[in-house]
Structure formats: structure tokens, C-alpha cells
Amino acid sequence: MEAPPPVTEQNKDRYLEELSKITEADDWIERHSTQNQQESPVKDIVDCPFCKRRLRIPHGYQGNVKCPQCDKYFTKKSRGRITKKGKISSLGEGVVHYLLLEAAVILTVLGLMGIWFTFSILFR
């Protein structure tokens, strides 16, 4: 193996260029190395109080959390306490909810009446 020539004023630019390539390569290896990756931070598992989806939140986090499934907000306080926030319902949402509930009750009553009528005809 042959030793490289000493650095002089005439060849210093070539050495600096080679050195920068080496340091860029070392930096790239350092950034992409799996051995040097830090362990992922500890996560707490918290259930969304609205849709019950399990969410992973950094341990010790306190503040607002938005559920990606139902798009509602809740507050995670220290020691895992949770406060519901949710969206403020508009009048239209309340009316739609009421009408859907009423329709479900009516369909249930009609279904029970149909069953009663069928059995009353079959077992006369």
C-alpha cells in the first residue's frame, strides 16, 4: 500500500474535496444506520372517549388530542385523566339525531306489531 503524498498548497483543494466526500458519506451512514437509532419514546395507550379507538400518545403528554377516526378533540391530563371536548353540535345535527332516533323507535314498534299480527293469525 502506498502512502498518499503530503498536503501542499498546490494539492490542498483536491484533499479538501476528497475529505468532504468522506464526511458526507460518514454523515449519510450515521443518519441511516439502524444501530444508532434511539429507541422510540414510550407511549401511553388511551381510548378515545367518543369512538373508543385506541390511540398511542407520548408518555407524560398533557394537552389536546384529536382522534383521527372521529375527528373529535379531548384533553389528556396528567396520570391518564381524560376530559371530553368534542365538537359543539349545531341545531341541524341535533334535529337529525332526534329524527333518526324517532325513526328507529317507530320501526321497532312496527316490527313488533308485525310479529304480533303474524302470530295472532297463525295461532287462532
How confident is the prediction along the chain (124 residues), in pLDDT tens digits per residue? 677 778 788 888 888 888 788 888 788 777 777 665 555 578 888 888 899 999 988 888 888 889 999 989 888 876 655 555 655 556 666 777 788 889 899 999 999 999 999 988 888 7
66, 73 contact by CB (below 8 A): yes
pTM, rounded to two decimals: 0.35
Give residue 63's region: left, alpha or beta (phi > 0; psi -120 to 50).
left
Could you tell me how far CA 106 lies from the centroid of its own chain? Answer: 39
pLDDT at position 111 is 92
Q: Per the structure block, which three cell numbers stand in for 25? A: 458519506
| Best CA proximity match to 67, nearest among 58, 55, 57 | 55
The residue written with cell numbers 339525531 in the block is 97
44, 57 contact by CB (below 8 A): yes
